[in-house]
Homo-oligomer: A and B are copies of this chain.
Amino acid sequence: MKANIKKIAVLTSGGDAPGMNAAVRAVVRSSVYYNLDVYGVYKGYDGLINGDIEQLQVRSVSNILSRGGTFLLSARSDEFRTKEGRAKAYDNFKANDLDALVVIGGDGSFTGADVFSQEYDVPVLGIPGTIDNDLAGTDFTIGYDTACNTATEAIDKIRDTASSHERLFFVEVMGRDAGFIAVNSGISGGAVAMLLPEHNWGIDDLIRRLQRGASSEKASNIVIVAEGCKLGSAYDIAAKVKAQLDYFDIRVTVLGHLQRGGSPTTSDRVLASRLGVAAVEGLLNGQSNVMVGVVNSNVVYTPISEAVKTIKKIDAEEFRIAKILSI
């Protein structure tokens, strides 16, 4: 089925992720390739509500492929959650003669897109852009690989100090609901343990793990704590461990927002490029209200409602590997 699409808009929404610019660039360039007009909406849904919309050219996206953040700016929009907000957004959508909307963001952004698409029968296509990698319907989200590498590089630096002083470090990485960054950076950083939102480790399990490490005379140790870990923040956990194992010289580092920034990795740029092209081609082929992803190296389109509802699970295999390697 060929859709009659002539003019599309693209916006970035929610927390920014490295590679969002690369995705916008791919949407713009493939639109031009297919003779579509393409418009950029600034500051996420707020820009749609306020009419902060501008036509984009190939020239508008020159030199952004390698840049972190999003030149379209991003925001979480409270107003778009209201009926009135979405009505204003639709007014601007029609006023600009737009035929379809590409939304680059995470699950919150997609939920909004879903409602909007159903209320106004607007073709919407989602591109997964979030460092959290917690969306079903794609093996990887844009920004995830870069965030993992940023975390790994930070852990490598912290290990220099940990080794030199024979210390135990707790390193907190992002991941409120999902421990993807924690597991991957934990394996690649050689952590002795990873505390994830998905798991039910008690403080005693961790203590046992660390005593085993100490008994094997491991001079330095790094424990990765995902933001959403049920045992508390990295500081909380460090205090509890200190209370029981006072022979450890303990330090805490919270990586925080630097995980969101930086020039995207090759994988993230290539993924963003593929998904940007596939988003435009999807719209041209009549896809609507779907998220485009890559599963087993193939482009797939998943209904947004499904991508948002299903919880992607961490590969149990990967966690098993982590345990074997942290003996």
Given A26-B325, A324-B33, A325-B273, CB of A161 within 8 Å of CB of B260: yes
Asked whether A215 is an interface residue with its Cβ less than 8 Å from the other chain, the reply is: no
Interface flags for A258-287 (1: CB within 8 Å of B; 0: not) read: 101111111101100110010000000000
Across the interface, A318 reaches (CB within 8 A) one of B16, B264, B270, namely B270
Residues of B within 8 A of A261 (CB): 156-161
Asked whether A243 is an interface residue with its Cβ less than 8 Å from the other chain, the reply is: no
A327 CA to B59 CA in the complex, in Å?
Answer: 12
A65 CA to B186 CA in the complex, in Å?
Answer: 12
Beyond the given A18-B160, A158-B257, please list 6 additional residue pairs across the A-B interface where CB-CB is below 8 A.
Answer: A33-B324, A68-B160, A68-B161, A150-B157, A187-B273, A274-B321
Asked whether A204 is an interface residue with its Cβ less than 8 Å from the other chain, the reply is: no
Residues of B within 8 A of A265 (CB): 149, 152, 188, 265
Residues of B within 8 A of A274 (CB): 317-318, 321
Size category of the binding interface on chain A: 35 or more
The answer to whether B258 touches A154 (Cβ under 8 A) is yes
A68 CA to B161 CA in the complex, in Å?
Answer: 8
The answer to whether A187 touches B260 (Cβ under 8 A) is no
A148 CA to B154 CA in the complex, in Å?
Answer: 15
Asked whether A232 is an interface residue with its Cβ less than 8 Å from the other chain, the reply is: no
- Residue of A32, A163, A164 most packed against chain B (CB within 10 A): A164
The answer to whether A165 touches B30 (Cβ under 8 A) is no
The answer to whether B266 touches A188 (Cβ under 8 A) is yes
6 closest A-B pairs by beta carbon, nearest first, are A157-B261, A68-B160, A160-B261, A69-B160, A188-B269, A69-B164
